[in-house]
């Protein structure tokens, strides 16, 4: 039985296909989902969302949201999801540098500004990690 995967953001459907397995960045760690998995609802953290199909692995960057698992399908609702080849590496590098610059002045930052900069840095690092995996790989 294949696993039907949909990844949906407020703007668009980023991914829809029958796949063999997904590995998702659950809020409490990475979760591997195969067909026939028990029903599950989990929050997602920012991280790499891996999709395996026919011996090839694709990677998307996802930034929070929820994943609903049923035995024959997985639905991901997330604020933003970017397939590796859509990531603008220069933009992510600029975002990383900006966040690091802000955090280097941590002593002068409010707690809210520091938390915002940390979250920005984390998003940039996820994008850079995922963009290194542009070409689907054999697994």
Q: Given the rule CB under 6 A, which residues bind ligand ATP?
A: 63, 80, 82, 86-88, 91-92, 95, 120, 123, 127
- Is residue 73 classed as helix, strand or coil in its secondary structure? strand
Max CA separation in the chain (angstroms): 55
**Shortest Cβ distance from residue 15 to ligand ATP (Å)?**
14
By C-beta, is 52 or 82 nearer to ligand ATP? 82
Q: Tokens standing for 134?
A: 């542009």
**Shortest Cβ distance from residue 33 to ligand ATP (Å)?**
23
By C-beta, is 75 or 80 nearer to ligand ATP? 80
Residue 33: partners with Cβ closer than 8 Å, 6 or more residues away: 3, 21, 22, 23, 24, 69, 74
Cα(138)–Cα(26) distance, rounded to whole angstroms?
Answer: 24
**Shortest Cβ distance from residue 8 to ligand ATP (Å)?**
13
């Amino acid at each position: 039985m294949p696993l039907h995967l949909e990844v949906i953001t407020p703007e668009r459907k980023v991914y829809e296909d029958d796949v063999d397995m997904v590995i998702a960045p659950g809020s409490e760690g990475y979760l591997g989902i195969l067909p026939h998995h028990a029903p599950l609802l989990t929050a997602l953290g920012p991280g790499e969302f891996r999709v395996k199909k026919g011996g090839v692995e694709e990677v998307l960057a996802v930034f929070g949201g929820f994943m609903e698992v049923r035995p024959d399908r997985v639905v991901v609702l997330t604020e933003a999801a970017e397939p590796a080849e859509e990531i603008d590496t220069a933009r992510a590098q600029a975002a990383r540098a900006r966040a690091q610059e802000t955090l280097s002045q941590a002593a002068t930052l409010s707690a809210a500004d520091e938390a915002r900069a940390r979250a920005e840095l984390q998003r940039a690092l996820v994008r850079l990690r995922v963009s290194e995996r542009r070409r689907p790989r054999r697994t």
